């Protein structure tokens, strides 16, 4: 069984995106259930340029990517509506969601990984996941990290087949 790191491709994030209302999205990177107040929805963003399908730092995904994750069996997502307003045209898009991945698992094999300590977590330059500690979860936040989202091979295959813009899947364990 293999796991993959799910992230945005920073080289393809050519447009701009800025949150304009709603709770700070960093609260959604803890892997815990989030109780959003109804008056906080939808999360609002201003954007310009070509949009990508995943903004990992903003916990923002195209609805089609969320549907692909669900279709692959992922059942630990909290999905909140998002409205993106184009700075140039004023057009509002509602085909994106803010996504909370519920579940943080300390599954890094630190003997095979390389990391730099930063702010109470690790920034991995090389990551190996211990499948026994990952417990066949389909998606989770890595407990030792500040930002890493890990997906099971089954999910990675579904995402790769979707051809999503600026979504990168990198293997983190050997076959």
Domain ranges of the chain: 3-171
How many contiguous H segments (helices) and E segments (strands) does the chain have?
3, 13
Summarize the confidence of residues 109-138 as an average pLDDT: 88
Q: Identify the CA nearest to 92 among candidates 100, 82, 84, 103.
A: 84
How do residues 134-156 score in pLDDT, each as one tens digit? 988 999 999 998 689 999 999 99
pLDDT value at 101 more than 60: yes
Confidence of residue 175 (pLDDT cuts 50, 70, 90): very low
Summarize the confidence of residues 120-129 as an average pLDDT: 85
Confidence of residue 37 (pLDDT cuts 50, 70, 90): confident
Confidence of residue 10 (pLDDT cuts 50, 70, 90): confident
Which two three-digit tokens encode residue 129?
Answer: 């996941």
Peptide bond into 118 cis (omega under 30): no
pLDDT value at 111 more than 60: yes
Say which residue, 98 or 136, is predicted with more confidence. Answer: 98
């Amino acid at each position: 069984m293999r796991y993959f790191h799910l992230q945005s491709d920073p080289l393809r994030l050519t447009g701009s995106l800025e949150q304009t209302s709603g709770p700070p999205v960093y609260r959604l990177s803890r892997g815990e259930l989030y109780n959003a107040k109804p008056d906080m929805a939808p999360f609002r963003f201003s954007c310009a340029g070509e949009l990508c399908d995943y903004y990992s730092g903003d916990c923002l995904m195209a609805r089609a990517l969320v549907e692909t994750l669900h279709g692959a069996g992922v059942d630990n997502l909290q999905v909140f509506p998002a409205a993106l307003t184009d700075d140039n045209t004023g057009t509002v898009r509602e085909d994106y969601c803010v996504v909370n991945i519920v579940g943080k698992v300390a599954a890094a094999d630190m003997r095979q990984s390389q990391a730099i300590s930063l702010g109470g977590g690790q920034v991995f330059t090389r990551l190996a996941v211990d499948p026994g500690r990952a417990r066949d979860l389909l998606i989770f936040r890595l407990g030792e990290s500040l930002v890493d989202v890990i997906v099971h091979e089954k999910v990675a295959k579904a995402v790769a087949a979707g051809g999503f813009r600026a979504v990168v899947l990198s293997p983190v364990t050997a076959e």
